[in-house]
Amino acid sequence: MNGAIWLVVMAFIAGLAGPVAGLAAERYPAKPIRIVVPFTPGGSNDLVGRIVAQKFLETWGQPAIIDNRPGAGSTIGIELVVRAAPDGYTLLATSGGIAINVSLYRLQFNPVTDLAPVALVAQMPYLLAVNPSVPAKSTQDLINLAKAQPGKLAFASSGAGTSSHLTMEMFKSLTKIDMLHVPYKGGGPAVNAVIGGEVQVIFNVITGPLPHARSGKLRALAVSSAKRVEIAPELPTVAESGVPGFDVIAWYNLFAPAGTPRRIVDQLNAEVNRMLQQAEVRERFRTLGVAPLGGTPGALGNYLKFEVARWSKLIKAAGIELK
């Protein structure tokens, strides 16, 4: 074979190899994925993230490693993802607090523009509950009692500026009542404070207070979601109990850094939606007290904008500041 023909043959072979090499380079995931959870291990956000991670491994054969980065109201972990390379190998599994933080902290980032929405994963309602000594058998009873004794009733939260705090602030705003806020370091201590009678009222994610309500240590009044929930179908919603339009949930989601290629975002979204249809995943969610959501990246992006706007309005109106 003369030199000219050899060069033509080699060029042809290289031309065939080029697309194959390009496809290999584009394959995702080709290495482990890190899922940052900006909370301590063991909470509902962490557990939902671990279910997602396990399903990624089962589908793609690449480990999805949970990296717990709590602190500063979850902003430390969120910023870690914002600053990560937008290649699909660092993801954020967080909660609705991401929308609240915008108005409470001096952030060096904007979650609306600095993160790429992947999917809404799950939701959980808050439970409105009181100490059994409180003479309120319904949400309307509680409203009437609070109006008759402005500032006398105290409510516990898992901390100033947390979702449980702001859910009660939303309730207070819509019902025109006044109650004293007593923040605690976490949902567990807050629930225990109501059980012990240190404070009288609480809004907390349903899995914390519900067992105590069923044992008689608390009295459950209503759930915060727009519809009744499978975990406690006997409980009315706050909206149907005399507060029309009340709809607050703890929502769990998945984000990537802004700039992550659309094909990767779409692949992640498709896998989340696929896993949420599996009976095994739905049962595991049910035991956690959460309900699967799903949907498009755009749906998550729009919901984030909605939540940022409504909590910003409430925080400003209530004059809430973190000291």
Q: What pLDDT was estimated at residue 8?
A: 42
CATH number of the structural domain spanning residue 153: 3.40.190.10
Looking at the structure, do residues 135 and 119 belong to the same domain, yes or no? no
Give the mean pLDDT of 37-66.
Answer: 95
What range defines the domain where residue 140 resides? 125-241
Q: CB–CB of 111/78 below 8 Å?
A: yes
How confident is the model over 190-208, as pLDDT tens digits?
999 999 999 999 999 999 9
Dump pLDDT digits (tens) for 242-252.
999 999 999 99
Same domain, 147 and 228: yes
**Count of the separate structural domains present in the chain:** 2
Residue 291, domain CATH: 3.40.190.150
Say if 9 falls within a structural domain. no
pLDDT at 25 over 80: no
Give the three-state DSSP class for 291.
Answer: strand
Torsion region of 74: left, alpha or beta (phi above 0 gives left; psi -120 to 50 gives alpha): left
Is 20 inside a domain boundary? no
Computed over every residue of the chain, the mean pLDDT equals 92
Same domain? For 237 and 129 the reply is yes
Residue 4, domain member (yes or no): no
Q: Is 290 helix (H, G, I), strand (E, B) or coil?
A: coil
pLDDT score recorded for residue 170: 97
Residue 98's nearest CA partner among 290, 317, 304, 309 is: 304
Q: Are residues 185 and 141 in the same domain?
A: yes
- β partners of residue 37: 68
Share of the chain above pLDDT 90, in %: 86
Q: Indicate the residue among 219, 241, 263 that finishes a domain.
A: 241
Q: Assess if residue 19 is contained within a domain.
A: no
Q: Pick the more confident residue, 6 or 261.
A: 261
317 φ/ψ angles, rounded to the nearest 5 degrees: -65, -35
Q: Compute the distance between CA of residue 67 and CA of residue 58 in angstroms, rounded to an integer.
A: 19
Asked whether residue 14 is assigned to any structural domain, the reply reads no
User: 5-9, 163-167, 255-259: lowest mean pLDDT where?
Assistant: 5-9
Asked if residue 234 and residue 147 are part of one domain, the reply reads yes
Q: What average pLDDT score do residues 228-246 get?
A: 96
Alpha carbons 250 and 272: distance in angstroms, whole number: 18
Q: Is-contact 212 4, C-beta < 8 A? A: no
Predicted local distance difference test score (pLDDT) of residue 322: 81
Look-up: residue for tokens 């003369």?
2
Confidence of residue 5 (pLDDT cuts 50, 70, 90): very low
Residue 12 lies in a domain: no
Residue with tokens 């309500």, as numbered in its chain = 213
Count of all residues that appear for the chain in the document: 323
Which residue, chain included where needed, has tokens 């025109």?
Answer: 176
Judging by DSSP bridges, how do beta strands 201-205 and 154-157 pair with one another? parallel
Indicate whether 11 pLDDT > 50: no
Q: Confirm whether 279 is domain-assigned.
A: yes
66 found inside a domain: yes
